[in-house]
Structures are given as structure tokens and as C-alpha cells.
Chains A and B, each alone.
Chain A
Amino acid sequence: MTSTVTTDDLHIHVASKRFDSSQSTDGSLQVLQDMDLQLPPGEFVSIVGASGCGKSTLLRLVLGLDTAYDGAITLGGEAISGPGLDRGIVFQDHRLFPWLTVEQNIGVGLRNASFNAQQKRHLIAEHVALVGLEGFEKSFPHQISGGMAQRVAIARGLVNRPRVLLLDEPFGALDALTRARLQAELQRIWQKERITMLLVTHDVEEAVFLGDRVVVMQPHPGRIRRIVPVNLPHPRNRSDPEFIRVRDDVLADFLAPDRRGPSDVPPTAQPSAAIGFSSERIRFAW
């Protein structure tokens, strides 16, 4: 586990982030506004929002790939001014090097790390085991499935023992069954390693399943609509009524921003059991 001398709080404060745009009236497009987020060490925070709300942009700012914004992002008190090995990332596409094997790809994360060769070998083996890919160390990316490749990407993101792991819609490119399986895997890995994780997704159920808190974002410009705490024990159960209640609560922000969802109706007012929701109460936003 990471040994912390200073506090590993991640403080995100983005007053404004703009992109140049030839299509807008004043030449720039504001993608983020007044984003304030604090992550204590070891917390799992999900950011959920529709496409185009700026959530991936936010991750790139935290990662340090983009430094042109108004605000300050600090990790453990130090300002983030560029990429660093203390922040790992898992992209939506696995971005493995096609000419390297699984273990060499995980080793890419360690190339600039200050471990000796033996320590690196040990770390790589440890992380291959962590993501459950023993036996595939010498395989090439084109020989393994998409889900397995994404697991390699997760191993690569974690091999440095970063203080924060950023995940940008990591399971978006996978089929539903693999997605569900990897969500459970990620939860297991997080429970084991307790590394701070910041997940960006458009899947509300995934956000509630994995996160201690769910940050709901709304677009144009990207802002935090609200933050929903998820006080459920791990591992989470998707069929738990409380889980469903929280999920529907968050979903309501997307389905009908000014209306509440069916599970918010108190039990006594519902005319029939099971799936019934009377049509006049629900109006979908699209």
C-alpha cells in the first residue's frame, strides 16, 4: 500500500476552462465552470454525466495533460503542473502498445520509475495477478480479448502505485457482460488496494455501484449539479432496494430534470405493486 508522509488529499478547483472555438460568438467555448471537488485518500468518486459535459476534460486537467485553465488542482498540497507517476489513468481504449507483450505493456508504466530491475519484475508479476491475467504475461494485445486488454491497462495504471487512479469511461468500449464483470473486478481491486479512484462514466448504475460519492454533472458549461453520497457497504448488490433507490435518484437528474422517478413515490401512494408507474407522473426529458 502507499505510505503517505503528507496527506494525499486531491483538491480540484477549476473556476473556468475554455477551448478555442471558431463556432462560438466570442471565439471560445467554456467547457467547465466552478468545479470544486475534494477527495480524501482512498475514496472512490464517480463522476456521471451525459456526453459533452466536460468530464473527460476534467480528468485531463487532473492528469496534467492540459494546464491551461483558471483554478488550481493540488495533490497532497502540491500543485499539479504536468503528468506524473503519482497519477495513473485508464483510458476508454486500452492504448496498449501492439508490439509489446502483456507484461512489457505493464512495464511501460515503470520505465521512468525509480525501482531496480528485480523490483520492477516483482511489481509487474504482482499486478498481473491482481487483474487475474496469470498465464497471459507473454501474450500480445491482438491475442487477447478487449476485456483482458482493458485489465492490462488497469494493471499498467496501478503498477506505479499512484496516489490517484483516474478512469475515463474505462468499460465503455466493452460488451455488457464483460462490463459487469470488470466493474466487479475494479471494486475488488479498489477494496484491496484502497487507492483513491476518480471514475468518469455515463452509466449511472456503474457510478452508483462503484462510488462512495456520485458527482452529477450537467453540460454547457460543465458544472456540478449535485453530489450524492452512497452509504452502502462493499461489495455492492445491484438488487438491493437501497441501491436501486439511490440509482433512480441519480437517474432522475437525467431522465426528467424537474421531476422525480418512480421509486421516489412513497409506497402507500402506489396503486399497484411491481413495475407500475402511472404515466402522468413521469415525463422523459428527451
Chain B
Amino acid sequence: MRRNQAFTRRWRGLAVPFAAIVLWALVARLDLVNSALLVSPAKVLDTGRELLSSGVLWLNLRASLARELTGFVIGTGSGLVLGGLLGLWPRFNRIVGPSFNTFKQISLFAWIPLISVWFGLGDVAKVVFLSLAALVPVVVNTADGMRSTPATLLEVARVYGYTRAKTIWHVVLPSAAPAIFTGVYLALVYSWLATIGAEYLLVSGRGVGNLLIEGSEHFRMDLVLFGMVAIGLVGWLMNASARTLERALARRLGR
């Protein structure tokens, strides 16, 4: 009885996807829907295998990931600096803060026309867009995290003669670490989202998004569906590694 329960608990999450695929296969096989756009799961798998073996998938994925990584690093790096300044330097926050708070209200995708005019449609424009996507959550969370250092702990640092620099390094940063990590994690998520979006809107070059666009333009739903699976897998991988990192960080910081 117990083994049955454990088995059920582990695999019950797959019930819905399994049923969906079976249904899909049946519909395709039995020609229940009269549409040229319907492809069977088998076809999607075949296309996928072809893309993998020909190297086309990897070529496009690599292009997307490279852009995402570049944008993520630039956006997170500058976000940490800007967020740090806003969080630690009240005067800077008073002067620059209002401008940034207004700036961050502009919906990310609204920047596309301006970016395409300034930077064209190529890789540079896409990386600028991605950096923007990564920047905002990092700045907001970093500044908030640093400003929320408990005053009681800052007082302890004062009592024991910590200089301002030591206080920032030994008290403010460890205290703000969870918030900073949240910001970086969000930056990763948003920049991956923005990567696909950028490939739709700044259409030039390679990328998984471009695979999808190409697929839909040529009515190749197998390409589209496989592309979606690939994108989903990459997103899941990022999520999983970020969560592992977060757990390791939390343990190291004693929570």
C-alpha cells in the first residue's frame, strides 16, 4: 500500500501531460481535425531529432543564449552598481531616485522602437534590450535590500567601532544578500523572456525565437512546437540552477 502511495505521489504530476499527448496523437492519427496545421507528436519528435542532429537547433540556441548572457551580465552588473549607490548614498538617492523610479515605469517592450532606431535590428540592439530587462529588477531589489538593513544591527556596528566601509561590507551586504539574490534571479528570468521577445521584434540574425517565427511563417507547426519545448527546457534549467544556488547561499549565510 505504501509503495503504491509513493509511486502515485511521484508520478501523478505527469498524468495531465501524458493524457494531453495521447489525446493529441489520437486526434492527429484519426484525422479528427481537418487542418493542414495539425501535426502529430511523432512529427514534432522527428523534426526535433533532425534539428538536433543537423546542428541547427544548437546554432540558434547558442546565439540566443550568448545574447542573453551578455545582456544579463551587463544589466546585472550595472544594476548592482546603480542599486548600491541608490541604497547606500542618500543624497544620490534623492537626486537620481525620482528619475529612476519614473524610468522603470516604462513598460520594457515600449523601448523597442527607440532601440531599433538607435541600434538597428541586430545583435547590439537585442543586447541593449536585454540589459534593460535585467537592470530594473536588480536595481530595485538591491537598493531596497540595502536600505532595509535593521537599524539595531547598524547600531551594534557603531558600538564596536566599525568604519562606514566595514559596516557596508560586514553588515549591510550580508543583510541585503537575499534581496540582491532575488533581484539577480528576476533579472535572469526577465532577460530570458526578453530574449525571445527581442527575436520577434528585432527580426534579424539567429535565435530560437527566430526558429519559431520561421516555423510559423512557413506553417511548420512542428518547428513551432519543438521550439517551444526547447525554450521551456532552457527556462526550466535556469530556474533549477538558480534555486540550487539560492539554497546553497542560504545555508552559507545561516538561514
Chain A residues with a Cβ under 8 A of chain B: 63, 65, 83-85, 89, 91, 93, 95, 97-101, 108-109, 111-112, 140-142
Q: Which of the residues A83, A84, A89, A142 comes within 8 Å of B254, measured between beta carbons?
A: A142
Instruction: Known contacts A97-B174, A98-B255, A142-B254; decide if A112 and B152 are in contact (CB<8 Å).
Output: no
List, in ascending order, chain A residues with CB within 8 A of B153's CB. Answer: 95, 97
> Quick one: CB contact mask for B111-153 with A, threshold 8 Å, 1 for yes?
0000000000000000000000000000000000000000011
Please, how many angstroms separate the alpha-carbon atoms of A63 and B166 in the complex?
A: 20
Chain B residues with CB under 8 A of A83: 158-161
B171 contacts the other chain (Cβ, under 8 Å)? yes
Q: A89 contacts which chain B residues (CB < 8 A)?
A: 159
A-B contact count (CB 8 A): 49
Tell me which residues from 85 to 127 in chain B have a Cβ below 8 Å from any Cβ of chain A: none
Taken together as a complex, chains A and B put the C-alpha atoms of A65 and B161 apart, in Å, by 11
A interface footprint on B163-175 (CB within 8 Å = 1, 0 otherwise): 0001000110011
28 sample A-B contacts, Cβ–Cβ < 8 Å, listed by A number: A65-B158, A83-B159, A83-B161, A84-B161, A85-B160, A85-B161, A91-B152, A95-B153, A95-B155, A95-B156, A97-B153, A97-B156, A97-B171, A98-B254, A98-B255, A99-B174, A99-B175, A99-B253, A99-B255, A108-B160, A109-B160, A111-B160, A111-B161, A112-B161, A140-B254, A140-B255, A141-B254, A142-B255
A-side contacts of B158, CB under 8 Å: 65, 83
Per-position binary interface string of chain B over residues 217-229, scored 1 when its CB falls under 8 Å from any chain A CB and 0 otherwise: 0000000000000
Q: Give the total of B residues in contact with A, Cβ under 8 Å.
A: 18
B162 interfacial contact with A, CB 8 Å: yes
Closest 7 interchain pairs by CB? A140-B254, A112-B161, A99-B253, A99-B174, A99-B254, A83-B159, A95-B152
Whole-angstrom distance between the Cβ of B156 and the nearest chain A Cβ: 5
Asked if B160 and A100 make an inter-chain contact with CB atoms under 8 angstroms apart, the answer reads no
Which of A91, A98, A101, A140 has the most chain B CB atoms closer than 10 A to its own CB? A98
| Min CB–CB distance B173 → chain A (angstroms) | 10
Q: Chain A residues near B254 (CB, 8 Å)? A: 98-101, 140-142
Given contacts A111-B160, A111-B162, 7 further A-B contacts (CB under 8 A): A63-B159, A65-B159, A83-B160, A85-B161, A95-B155, A100-B254, A112-B162
Question: Closest Cβ of chain B: how far from A162's Cβ, in Å?
Answer: 11
**In the assembled complex, which residues on chain A have CB atoms less than 8 Å from the CB atom of B159?**
63, 65, 83, 89
Chain B interface (Cβ within 8 Å of chain A)?
Answer: 152-153, 155-156, 158-162, 166, 170-171, 174-175, 177, 253-255
- Cross-chain contact of A93 among B152, B162, B177 (Cβ < 8 A): B152
Cβ of B152: which chain A residues have Cβ within 8 Å of it? 91, 93, 95
In angstroms, how far is the closest chain A Cβ from the Cβ of B248? Answer: 14
The docked-state distance in angstroms from the alpha carbon of A264 to that of B171 is 52
Q: In the complex, how many angstroms separate the beta carbon of B255 from the nearest chain A beta carbon?
A: 7
Q: Are B255 and A111 in contact (CB under 8 A)?
A: no
Contacts of B160 in A (CB 8 A): 83, 85, 108-109, 111-112
User: Is the CB–CB distance between A65 and B155 below 8 Å?
Assistant: yes
In the complex, what's the smallest C-beta–C-beta distance from A95 to chain B, in angstroms?
5
Interchain nearest-CB distance for A73 vs B (Å): 16
Residues on B with beta carbons closer than 8 Å to the beta carbon of A101: 254
Would you give the shortest CB distance from B49 to chain A, in whole angstroms? 49
B213 to chain A, nearest CB (A): 47
Of chain A, the residue at the smallest CB distance from B174 is: A99
In angstroms, how far is the closest chain A Cβ from the Cβ of B138?
21
Question: A141: which B residues are within 8 A, CB to CB?
Answer: 254
> In the complex, what residue of chain B is closest to A91 when comparing beta carbons?
B152
Shortest C-beta distance, B115 to chain A (Å), equals 40
B254 nearest CB neighbor, chain A only: A140
Whole-angstrom CA separation of A83 from B155 in the bound complex: 10
Contacts of B155 in A (CB 8 A): 65, 95
Tell me the bound Cα distance from A111 to B161 in angstroms. Answer: 9
- CB nearest neighbor in B for A87: B159
What is the chain A residue whose CB lies nearest that of B175? A99
Point out the residues of chain B lying under 8 angstroms from A108, CB to CB: 156, 160
CA distance A98 to B174 in the complex (A): 9
Residues of A within 8 A of B166 (CB): 111
A167 to B: closest C-beta gap in Å: 13
CB distance from A92 to the nearest CB of B (A): 10
How far, in angstroms, from A209 to B43 measured CA to CA in the complex? 85
Return chain A residues, CB-CB under 8 Å to B174: 97, 99
Instruction: Tell me how far the C-beta of A117 lies from the nearest C-beta in chain B, rounded to whole angstroms.
Output: 17
> Residues of A contacting B171 with CB < 8 Å?
97
Q: Are A111 and B170 interface neighbours, CB within 8 A?
A: yes
| Shortest beta-carbon distance from B172 to chain A in Å | 11
Query: In the complex, how many angstroms separate the beta carbon of A232 from the nearest chain B beta carbon?
Result: 32
What separation, in Å, do the CA atoms of A22 and B73 have in the docked complex? 49
Bound CA–CA A65/B158 (angstroms): 8
A28 to B255, CA, bound (A): 43
Highest count of chain B CB atoms <10 Å: which of A65, A83, A91, A101 = A83
Docked pose: A91 CA to B159 CA in angstroms: 11
